[in-house]
Amino acid sequence: MAKMEAPMAESPLDLSPRTGPADAVAPRSRSSRRAWMLVGVAVLAALVVAVVMGLSDATVFFRNVDEAVAQRSELGDQAFRMQGSVVPDSVTKTPNGVTFDLTYNGATATVEHSGSEPALFENTDIPVVAEGQWKGDVFESERLVIKHDESYDEDNPDRIDAAKNQGR
């Protein structure tokens, strides 16, 4: 039987650096580099704009009623959140929502809220945060958040038990 031999390489592996002009990598043209720089600058500018826009939309400051009333002219029509307690018996339903007085630290502001009010919103002395802006002497609100506690559980234990039993 004939033995097959692998062909031998004519020369051992050459690991020396190449120096000829045919082996050199062609440098990028100036227009190619300029185009990539413009793309990079455009992407960076878009990121900066997105961050600035996002932060400006997310920045809504809290003011207590006394601060908001004292700073009314400086605040102008800037959106902010105003915190205080609803003046008892000041809540009036309107075709667009509800109007009420909000008080804190001796100052009072009239709030005209458009839209539905939260489920636990009552005509009592409850803490409320209204989000909106001044329109003249009235604070126009688009969003209401109320603070509630576990007093519903304490005041209405039979409703809690009924709700638990209903789920069975």
Asked if 91 and 128 count as a contact pair (C-beta separation under 8 A), the reply is no
- Neighbouring residues of 102: CB distance < 8 A, sequence distance ≥ 6: 65, 82, 84, 85, 86, 87, 108, 109, 110, 111, 128, 130, 139
DSSP state of 142: E
Q: What angle do CA 75, 78, 82 make, to 5 degrees?
A: 75
12 sits in which H/E element? none
Nearest to 100 by CA among 74, 118, 75: 118
Binding annotation for heme: 148, 152
DSSP string, 13-50: ---SPP-STTTSPPPPPHHHHHHHHHHHHHHHHHHHHH
Paired tokens of 158? 């039979």
Binding annotation: 148, 152
